[in-house]
Amino acid sequence: MKPVSTPLLSMLVAGLLSLPVNALAESDRTDSWLPTLQTDTPEQGFELAVKLSRMGVKTTQPGIDVLKKGREQYAKDPDALMDASEVIAVHFSTIAAANDYWKDE
């Protein structure tokens, strides 16, 4: 897997840095949307990776109108779609490691 592109990584880091500090600590809540990275199957792990990616976009661009307007542009841009796939792959790699790559012991 190739490394995450510099512009994409810069956007992700900038988005995270703009979050309020307490937003990064929300996982401590009992009603968290992300209580664990553990999944029963790789397919569930992939679905979780997609959700993580979508939540990252939603968090960094909370304006729904702006978000939907931008979809028209990136939905037709092969490079933007590949970048989105790359972000999902990074999340999937993290989830796979958290699940010990679903190895049977």
In whole angstroms, give the CA distance from residue 44 to residue 86.
18
Per the structure, how many domains does the chain have? 1
Residue 77 falls inside a structural domain: yes
Host domain of residue 50 = 6-27+38-102
Residue 86 falls inside a structural domain: yes
Confidence at 31, pLDDT banded by 50, 70, 90: confident
Q: Which two tokens stand for residue 99?
A: 């699940």
Per-residue pLDDT tens for 42-95? 999 999 999 999 999 999 998 999 989 988 888 999 999 999 999 999 999 999
Residue 88 falls inside a structural domain: yes
CA distances from 70 to 11, 13, 31, 64, 76 (A): 15, 19, 31, 10, 11
Q: Which two tokens stand for residue 11?
A: 């956007």
Residue 32 falls inside a structural domain: no
Taking the CB of residue 49, how many other CB atoms lie within 10 A of it?
22
Residue 12 falls inside a structural domain: yes
Q: Are 61 and 67 in contact (CB under 8 A)?
A: yes
What is the 8-class DSSP label of residue 19?
A: S
Residue 1 falls inside a structural domain: no
Residue 62 falls inside a structural domain: yes
CA-closest candidate to residue 48, choices 11, 10, 97: 97
Confidence at 29, pLDDT banded by 50, 70, 90: low
